[in-house]
């Protein structure tokens, strides 16, 4: 992801995991995530990006067609 987009996402989401109830706030433990997966046409724009902790990003899993999201 482009550096400027990373920074916008970082501040847009109050520097914490977006998963409801998650308390992870350490930026080094957060990952940039496409809300609509890139592999499914999601764009790399601020409105389609969020920060998730590594655990919650991994929990998004792989759907029936083998694509993460």
Q: What is the tens place of the pLDDT at every residue in 26-56?
A: 878 888 888 898 888 999 888 888 888 999 9
Structure tokens at 64: 């029936």
Burial level of 63, CB count in 10 A (0-12/13-18/19+)?
Answer: exposed
Is residue 15 pLDDT above 90, yes or no? Answer: no
As a whole number of angstroms, the distance between CA 51 and CA 65 comes to: 24
Task: Give pTM, 2 decimals.
Answer: 0.70
Any alpha helices (H) in the chain, and if so which ranges? Answer: 3-12, 54-59
Instruction: State the Cα–Cα distance between residues 24 and 31, nearest whole angstrom.
Output: 11
């Amino acid at each position: 992801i482009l550096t400027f987009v990373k920074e916008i996402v970082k501040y847009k989401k109050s520097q914490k995991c977006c998963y409801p109830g998650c308390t992870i706030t350490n930026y080094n433990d957060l990952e940039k995530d496409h809300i609509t997966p890139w592999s499914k046409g999601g764009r790399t724009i601020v409105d389609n990006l969020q920060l998730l902790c590594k655990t919650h990003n991994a929990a998004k899993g792989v759907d029936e067609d083998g694509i993460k999201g």
